[in-house]
């Protein structure tokens, strides 16, 4: 098979893209902890879902573990941005580990909603993806048996909850807005009295990045998304494009780019999931220039100025 013939094309960058405030905060927490306490600092699970970020922090002295039993006594351990079950916090306290919580404040909001609803005697339905760290953390905020996970409209159809139950729902923060709306609609049809969160659970950054992809769809025949295979919000960006009939591909870096993906395109859209650093975007742009990109434009859909405060122990002497 011969090398594809490349013609001139435009590159349109989504804005916003890449790091969100929760990811910035989590990375800052690890770096500040390394400065304050020295290496090694232990981190339970990947601090965010991006191997470039994780490898960079590992090089500075962060040690990534799956469970707390891998953390030595008297060590400092950080909980990832995705959040953890209450049982993990309890274990850290029992062992006397110095633990620092890097959970995104928007995930913490969902945790508080869930635990508050459970205390009021409501049965909770969590809309999310089974096995995702954020989902595991949210499930672990309430007593076993008081929360049911659904992933699809089909899951809703098979629910057999007691009609007399007081039911409420919460969602994973990094879902597709369109898919989630369909699931919520199915829940409300099946359980007309179901309680919704006071505020939307899908985070502002996830919403903005999906809206930015929808804007790219008006101009681009191909959309490239930088992000990790296990990054929920990055995968949702690919889905948003594909569901609209646009070719879309998930790349971890510019080296993953197959030139045939952009062959014949007049405009190629580029975005990045909330855990992907801007450096990866610029490297991909350079690769696209080599393949014939003549102009690079930015399509601004929203400006993000959100900042989250850091744990006081890392910002004071």
Given a contact cutoff of 8 angstroms between Cβ atoms, the answer to whether 272 and 278 are in contact is yes
Any idea how long the chain is?
Answer: 317
- Which tokens sit at 112? 């508080």
Q: Which of 161, 130, 126 lies closest to 142 in space, CA to CA?
A: 126
Does the annotation count 66 as an active-site position? no
CB atoms within 10 A of CB 73: 7
Q: How far apart are CA 215 and CA 233, in angstroms?
A: 17
Catalytic annotation, pick one of 31, 46, 67, 134: 134
Tell me the C-alpha distance between 59 and 63, whole Å.
9
Rounded Cα gap, residues 232 and 185, in angstroms: 22
Kindly tell me the sign of the dihedral angle through the C-alpha atoms of 44, 176, 252, 309: negative
Q: Hey, which residues are catalytic here?
A: 134
């Amino acid at each position: 098979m011969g090398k594809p013939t490349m013609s001139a094309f435009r590159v349109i960058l989504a804005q916003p893209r890449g790091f969100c405030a929760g990811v910035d905060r989590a990375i800052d927490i690890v770096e500040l902890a390394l400065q304050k306490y020295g290496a090694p600092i232990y981190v339970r699970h990947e601090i965010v879902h991006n191997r470039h970020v994780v490898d960079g922090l590992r090089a500075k002295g962060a040690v990534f573990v799956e469970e707390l039993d891998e953390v030595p006594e008297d060590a400092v351990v950080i909980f990832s941005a995705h959040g953890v079950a209450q049982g993990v916090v309890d274990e850290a306290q029992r062992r006397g580990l110095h633990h620092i919580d890097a959970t995104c404040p928007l995930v913490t909001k969902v945790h508080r909603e869930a635990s508050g609803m459970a205390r009021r005697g409501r049965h909770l339905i969590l809309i999310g993806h089974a096995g995702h760290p954020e989902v595991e953390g949210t499930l672990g905020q309430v007593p076993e048996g008081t929360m049911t996970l659904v992933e699809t409209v089909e899951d809703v159809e098979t629910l057999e909850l007691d009609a007399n139950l007081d039911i409420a729902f919460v969602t994973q923060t990094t879902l597709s807005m369109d898919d989630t709306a369909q699931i919520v609609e199915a829940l409300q049809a099946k359980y007309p009295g179901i309680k919704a969160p006071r505020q939307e659970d899908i985070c502002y950054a996830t919403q903005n990045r999906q809206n930015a992809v929808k804007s790219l769809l008006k101009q681009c025949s191909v959309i490239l998304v930088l992000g990790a295979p296990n990054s929920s919000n990055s995968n949702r960006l690919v889905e948003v494009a594909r569901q609209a009939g646009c070719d879309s591909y998930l790349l971890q870096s510019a080296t993953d780019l197959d030139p045939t993906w952009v062959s014949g395109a007049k405009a190629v859209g580029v975005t990045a999931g909330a855990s992907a650093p801007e450096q990866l975007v610029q490297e991909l742009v350079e690769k696209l220039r080599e393949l014939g990109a003549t102009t690079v434009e930015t399509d601004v859909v929203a400006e993000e100025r959100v900042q989250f405060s850091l744990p006081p122990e890392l910002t004071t002497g």
